[in-house]
Structure 1
Amino acid sequence: MYSKMILGIAAMIAAGSAQAGDAEAGKKLFEQRCRACHMIQADDGTPIQKGGKTGPNLYEVIGRTAGSEEGYRYKDSVVEAGQKGLVWDEASFTAYVQDPSAFLKEYLGDGGARSGMTFKLRKGAEDVYAYLASVGE
């Protein structure tokens, strides 16, 4: 079931890639839903979005290997996904944030895979992606 869901989400994203997300809407959604656990802080320490430290810093997360933010302790499944080649692009990011553990179970082929992120961003993932892609170098 999860594999069909993940493949369906990826297909919708690929089909709608011409309809890129709205970075402004993503910023608002980040402020409402994401910053309770995540911050965005530039490498030089400049805060872009103040927020929690429960989750990793999302500065330049787009294009980053999963589970590789220095100084953050990830669940083993996220690190393993990164070791197997998971890099955060639009398809993987938007599928992951909609159901993190289901995504990892499918990606790793491991029914016991877990993410530390229990929140599911059911709507607006493409907007948050556009926002995060717009933040950084």
Structure 2
Amino acid sequence: MNRTLRRTALQDSSRLLMGLRQNLRPIESIRSSPSLLQIYTSCRQSSSQSSSSQPEPFGSSTLWPVARIYIVGSLVYMIFHWIWWKLESDEIEEKLSDRVANLEQELESLLEERSLARSQSTSGYVSRITSLLHKLVFW
């Protein structure tokens, strides 16, 4: 009976110690857990090791800079093209407005000459007709 008591006492004490150990494990894990700095450095080292071991996809490092240069270059080209077009269209418009003004002056002078010629020719024409009529009537 003594032996059985000892066994049960030992079993009870071992169970008690096991329970205490299980309850103390979270505290021990907090104490032994790595700091954030250690985690960050280990992640950084593992990412640098994994990136150096794997080849980069084609153009992954140069695609965005090339695209940016293409976009900026296209934008600059379009701006300069618009400026050039605007200046040229202003110059053409000025030339055409000068030409229109010259043609209007020429047209006005021609109309004045025509009206003068008509007035002179109609008065001469009327006088000829009247003279012919007088000759016919009073012959």
**TM norm structure 2:** 0.14
Instruction: Compare the two structures and name the one with the higher helix fraction.
Output: 2
Q: Determine which structure has more spread, i.e. the larger CA radius of gyration.
A: 2
- Higher RCO, 1 or 2 (CA under 8 Å, sep at least 6)? 1
**TM norm structure 1:** 0.14
